[in-house]
Amino acid sequence: MNGIEITNINMTLANYECRVRKDGGYRKVLANFNIILNNCFAINSISLIMREDNSAFVAFYSRKDKETNQFYNICYPTKKELREYIEDVLINYYNEHQHDNEESKN
């Protein structure tokens, strides 16, 4: 992805629901990720969330402003291509490793 590469992934499986701001509904969180880009920039608390149609998307960590009650992202891709790259890598990683993590807990 134009010189940007995910060089480290740490995944924790999740089993809870979160509220999605766009429609106010609740969605299942499949996993949480911490990643490192190019061995020099860490992004923590990326959630993999299931949509109603059973497809998945990534959500970057956000905080709620106490004064305005608005949420704002702490860190996020500003280019569509980077967001798609991160999403593709994390969805593939989840699909390839979800059973490994489940088995290691037993």
Count how many domains the chain has: 1
Q: 69, 40 in Cβ contact below 8 A?
A: no
- pLDDT of res. 102: 55
Q: Is residue 39 part of a domain?
A: yes
Domain extent at residue 76: 6-105
Question: Tens of pLDDT along the chain (106 residues)?
Answer: 789 999 999 999 987 777 665 666 668 899 999 999 999 999 999 999 988 888 999 999 888 889 998 888 889 999 999 999 999 999 999 999 987 755 555 4
From start to end of the chain, where are the E strands?
Answer: 6-19, 26-37, 41-50, 56-59, 62-64, 71-73
Q: 91, 9 in Cβ contact below 8 A?
A: no
pTM for the model: 0.82
Q: Is residue 1 part of a domain?
A: no
CATH number, residue 71: 3.30.1120.40
Q: Is residue 89 part of a domain?
A: yes
- pLDDT of res. 20: 66
- pLDDT of res. 34: 96
